[in-house]
Chains A and B, each alone.
Chain A
Amino acid sequence: GAVVSQHPSRVICKSGTSVKIECRSLDFQATTMFWYRQFPKQSLMLMATSNEGSKATYEQGVEKDKFLINHASLTLSTLTVTSAHPEDSSFYICSARDNGRIGYTFGSGTRLTVV
């Protein structure tokens, strides 16, 4: 139980285009999901907290107009990287918590490459 599915696992896009990443909780409902970014050889950096039915909360230094987060249902949060640039190339990971379980469950991550 407590599975989080993230899609796509890999995506390559052209500079200036937008990319949407989906994060789904498959067997539980998640009112809160989290989005992280990870650059090579670095730790996970929290980008934002996604709240079902309300606006996301962004960490300091993360541009909310560039990284659009939508959490329209209790099982789905999306992160859209708008007007992507090569410096946005990174590993993006989502997580959620099943309130009936211990700990947070993470998706398998999305490798974004902007060319």
Chain B
Amino acid sequence: DAKTTQPTSMDCAEGRAANLPCNHSTISGNEYVYWYRQIHSQGPQYIIHGLKNNETNEMASLIITEDRKSSTLILPHATLRDTAVYYCIASTQGGSEKLVFGKGTKLTVNP
């Protein structure tokens, strides 16, 4: 799996957009960018994933650069419940492909 690097922590005001960056400069052509988040003392939750194109779902948007070396997860209107550790992972989509977590970004949404 390609190694990813993320800032250790970020802060965001409630109601504003939270933009979480991720560098994955060694990502291979068949690896997707996955985002998960972990709220304190819970299991991680899948957010979104993408290969080349930008993606959007009910939770977030994912912007992937054209060279695929970095991406940004966007939470358009952050709420206090979005406070969590966000993990960016590069992985293939094979059913037995293991997910290896980095240190992630601790996002704190402030009132």
Contacts and interface: CB of A to CB of B under 8 A. Distances in A.
Contact of A34 (B36, B99, B103): B99
Contacts of B104: 43
B103 A43 contact: yes
B43 A111 contact: no
Interface in B58-111: 85, 87, 95-96, 98-104
Given A4-B43, A106-B45, 19 more contacts: A6-B43, A31-B95, A36-B101, A43-B103, A43-B104, A44-B44, A46-B101, A91-B41, A93-B44, A95-B99, A99-B95, A102-B49, A104-B99, A105-B46, A106-B43, A108-B43, A109-B41, A109-B42, A109-B43
Contacts of A99: 95
Interface string A82-112: 0000000001010101010011111111010
Contacts of A46: 98-101
B98 A49 contact: yes
22 contacts: A6-B43, A36-B101, A43-B85, A43-B103, A44-B38, A44-B101, A46-B98, A46-B101, A49-B96, A93-B44, A97-B95, A99-B95, A102-B46, A103-B34, A103-B49, A104-B46, A104-B99, A105-B46, A106-B43, A106-B44, A107-B43, A109-B42
Nearest to B96: A32
Highest count of chain A CB atoms <10 Å: which of B34, B44, B100: B44
Contacts, number: 53
A34 B42 contact: no
B101 A43 contact: yes
Main secondary structure of the interface of B (DSSP, over half): loop
Interface residues of B, number: 21
Contacts of A108: 42-43
Contacts of A36: 101
Highest count of chain B CB atoms <10 Å: which of A32, A44, A46: A44
A6 B44 CA distance: 13
